[in-house]
């Protein structure tokens, strides 16, 4: 018995990183999974390997969402889960951020989450209920210099999560958010995108860097976030909705002066 037997879940940004680990874990727990991304070759390879459906889905495009819902419904008859995971990060102080860059981050992280709730939320409600997990961030709850656009959108994701939880509860749809700290994916560890790089070495360097910042003394792993998303997608969290769940090795707990 898997914890997601009989469920049908769309995971966005599932070609790599946290989304890929969520897709793998959900499939292993019995769900039918739709791997959705703009990285078609990588996404198709992941989907093929785990026995999932691949959908090209740019989360900022409403028509792509409608097509993904149609493809999932046609393949599996219904949709009762969504992980809004796709996201992008850009580094700049607010003073140096071009408007185009700010809007690009808003389009993916914030509009993407909104369109997912709007489009898939309706399909989940029509199926009689289910779950939505939005991917916010540590920076959805606190500030971080030089990533202002990103931080603003992750705060917005928590606002969307709370409102969606209120609006969709009567339809049996629970909506929660994960708030990861630093996680060892291409977003925090660009060496993963460089075929020449020693990725294990880069991960060890990140562990050393985060030893000073994070009480648990290391960067997080995408598999750890996937396990939290599984909890929020499964019946184990049946009485929980509208909440942010921080998974950050204790980073947000405070600062230590000793
Ligand atoms: P990642 O860069 O490896 O993965 C992001 C995925 O999103 C990629 O597969 C990418 O192709 C996809 N994507 C980007 N734009 C898209 C679009 N318009 N439509 C569909 N897919 C798109 O990084 P990750 O760490 O796996 O990121 C997953 C989520 O976790 C993001 O929302 C990110 O903001 C969040 N997050 C990451 C960290 C971290 O330290 N890695 C920390 C907190 C939150």
Domain carrying residue 200 = 184-219
Same domain, 66 and 167: yes
Given this model, what pLDDT does residue 258 score? 87
Number of domains into which the chain is organized = 2
Same domain, 73 and 143: yes
The number of C-alpha atoms within 13 Å of 22 and in the hemisphere containing its C-beta is 35
In angstroms, what CA-CA distances link 198 with 88, 129, 221? 23, 45, 17
pTM above 0.85, yes or no: yes
Residue 42 lies in a domain: yes
Residue 256 lies in a domain: no
Pocket test for ligand 1, best of 19, 61, 87 (most atoms within 8 A of CB): 87
Q: Which residues pair with 135 in a beta bridge?
A: 178
pLDDT (tens digit per residue) in 239-257 = 999 999 999 999 999 998 8
Cα 66 to ligand 1 centroid, rounded to whole Å: 21
List of the chain residues with pLDDT < 50: none
Given this model, what pLDDT does residue 226 score? 99
Residue 193 lies in a domain: yes
Same domain, 87 and 203: no
**Secondary structure element (H or E) that encloses residue 219, with its range:** none
Query: Cα-flanking dihedrals φ and ψ of residue 96, to 5°?
Result: -100, 0
Given this model, what pLDDT does residue 225 score? 99
Same domain, 142 and 204: no
* Both tokens assigned to 162: 């709370």
* Both tokens assigned to 131: 């779950």
Same domain, 122 and 213: no
Cα 126 to ligand 1 centroid, rounded to whole Å: 28
Given this model, what pLDDT does residue 11 score? 99
């Amino acid at each position: 018995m898997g914890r997601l037997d009989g469920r049908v879940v769309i995971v966005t940004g599932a070609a790599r990183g946290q989304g890929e680990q969520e897709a793998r874990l959900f499939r292993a727990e019995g769900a039918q999974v739709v791997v959705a991304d703009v990285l078609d070759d990588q996404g198709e390879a992941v989907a093929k390997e785990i026995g999932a459906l691949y959908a090209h889905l740019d989360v900022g495009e409403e028509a792509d969402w409608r097509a993904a819902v149609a493809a999932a419904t046609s393949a599996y008859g219904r949709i009762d889960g969504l992980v809004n995971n796709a996201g992008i990060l850009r580094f700049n102080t607010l003073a140096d951020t071009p408007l185009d860059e700010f809007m690009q981050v808003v389009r993916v992280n914030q509009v993407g989450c909104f369109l997912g709730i709007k489009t898939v939320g309706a399909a989940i409600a029509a199926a009689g209920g289910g779950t939505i997990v939005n991917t916010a961030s540590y920076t959805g709850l606190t500030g971080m210099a030089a990533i202002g656009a990103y931080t603003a959108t992750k705060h917005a994701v928590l606002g969307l999560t709370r409102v969606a939880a209120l609006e969709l509860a009567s339809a049996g749809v629970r909506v929660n958010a994960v708030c990861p700290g630093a996680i060892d994916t291409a977003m925090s560890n660009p060496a993963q995108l460089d075929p020449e790089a020693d990725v294990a070495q880069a991960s060890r360097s990140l562990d050393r860097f985060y030893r000073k910042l994070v009480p648990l003394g290391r960067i997080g792993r995408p598999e750890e976030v996937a396990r939290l998303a599984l909890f929020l997608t499964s019946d184990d969290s049946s009485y929980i909705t509208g909440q942010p769940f921080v998974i950050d090795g204790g980073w947000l707990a405070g600062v230590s002066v000793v």
